[in-house]
Structure formats: structure tokens, C-alpha cells
Structure 1
């Protein structure tokens, strides 16, 4: 969603998240999209099943 269409609260949250992310990667230009919770799975071909990789949390897609 374009920043101009966001509420003031959403804009503030986006700015705070951008500031935190820049601590890890100072070349971040902008956050493109985000989701509050994801879980990572890996497909195991030998068993034809999904294995939980025990990695979960917020996800940010950003532009450098």
C-alpha cells in the first residue's frame, strides 16, 4: 500500500520498523510489504512431507 494511503498510526509503525531494520542493514531504502507472523517449513523429498524449521516471526520485504 502506498504510504500516502496509510493512517498516521500505520505510518509511525512503518517508520519505527524501518529504523530497526536499518540497524541490521543500513542500505534499506524502503519497506515494500510486511506481515506480522510467518513460519518457515522445508519440503523433505525423502518423506514427501513438510518439516518445521523452527524459524518464525515477522517478515519484511524491503528495497535496497
Structure 2
């Protein structure tokens, strides 16, 4: 079996690839964390689609 030594360029590329992997994973975790936080606090509510909904109108008292 022939043992091959990895070239220096490949070692540097591997290091850069792991760095990019780390940055992408950090970005995914940040987006996921913000999404979970907004769902838990009720940040996603009605009205983002710019449509008037009866549930969002103020309640009017009936006058007799």
C-alpha cells in the first residue's frame, strides 16, 4: 500500500472549508434562535399581510 502525503495546498483548503462550515453553522443557529425566540414571545402575529382582519379591530360597545 502506497502512503501519499497530502499537499500543502490541500491542507490549507481543508482549513478554509472548515472555517466556512463554522460560519455557515453559526448563521443557521442565529436564524434558528431568532425564529424560536419570536415564536415563544408571540412576535409572529396577524397583520403582516396588510389585510384588515376582524380579530384586529377594536371592540365597539353596543349602544341601545
The TM-score, its normalising length taken from structure 1, stands at 0.30
Structure with the higher fraction of residues in strand conformation:
1
Structure with the higher fraction of residues in helix conformation:
2
Higher relative contact order (CA 8 A, sep 6+): 1
